[in-house]
Amino acid sequence: MASARVAKLYAAALMEIGEAQQFSDTIAQDLETVGAFLQASRQLQLLLASPVVTPAKKKAVFRELFGPRVGKEAMTFLLLLIQKNRGRLLPEVITQYRALRDTHLGIITVDIRSAVSVTPAQETRLKEELERSTRKTVRFRNVLDETIKGGLMVKIGDTVLDGSIRRQLERLRLCFIEGEAVGN
């Protein structure tokens, strides 16, 4: 938990500097590039987490690997994290930076769980409704989940809107158990 707080502090500092100096878009793209590499390379993750490998060696690897791929500002930040022995926090810093930037830009990520793929027309209609009700730009993450039987579940932050067939069947079952009239 403490590492998440530290990662958020680094992300917030980077966001503040990026906004002040007008390079937050470049930083965001560079962090996405680094994040994709980290996600794809277990060796790079192990290198960052290793207490045996010196910061100088880690910095040399990062300069070699990311020097031609990211801007000067992002590289300076990456090397600072490594120098401060915070390299293992880099994936969380990237996640926190993305979340802070989305908040700043008024973007929310909505998770949709459905038994079948949501059609583009359904997604457009749902997006319009959610953007109208939240007054934010909506980004979807779709997940197929056959256990919900049908319908869909929408998760916005901590709020879950459950319109799944599984939930409706569970409510119907509870009504029968409790002896309530169906439809109330």
pLDDT in tens, 37-71: 999 999 999 999 999 999 999 999 999 999 999 99
59 and 94 co-located in one domain: yes
Report pLDDT for 180. Answer: 64
Quote the strand ranges of the chain, DSSP E: 107-114, 137-144, 151-156, 159-164
97 and 111 co-located in one domain: no
Report pLDDT for 30. Answer: 95
**Percent above pLDDT 70 for the chain:** 97
25 and 82 co-located in one domain: yes
How many other β-carbons are positioned within 10 Å of the β-carbon of residue 135?
9
150 and 126 co-located in one domain: yes
Average pLDDT over residues 127-140: 91
Q: How far is it, in rounded angstroms, from Cα 181 to Cα 167?
A: 17
Confidence of residue 183 (pLDDT cuts 50, 70, 90): low
39 and 97 co-located in one domain: yes
Task: Return mean pLDDT, the chain.
Answer: 89
Query: Which helix (H) or strand (E) segment is 164 a member of?
Result: strand 159-164
Taking the model in full, what pTM does it have? 0.75
Tally the domains of the chain: 2
Q: Range of 78's domain?
A: 2-103
Q: How far is it, in rounded angstroms, from Cα 102 to Cα 109?
A: 9
Which of 50, 82, 103 is the C-terminal boundary of a domain? 103
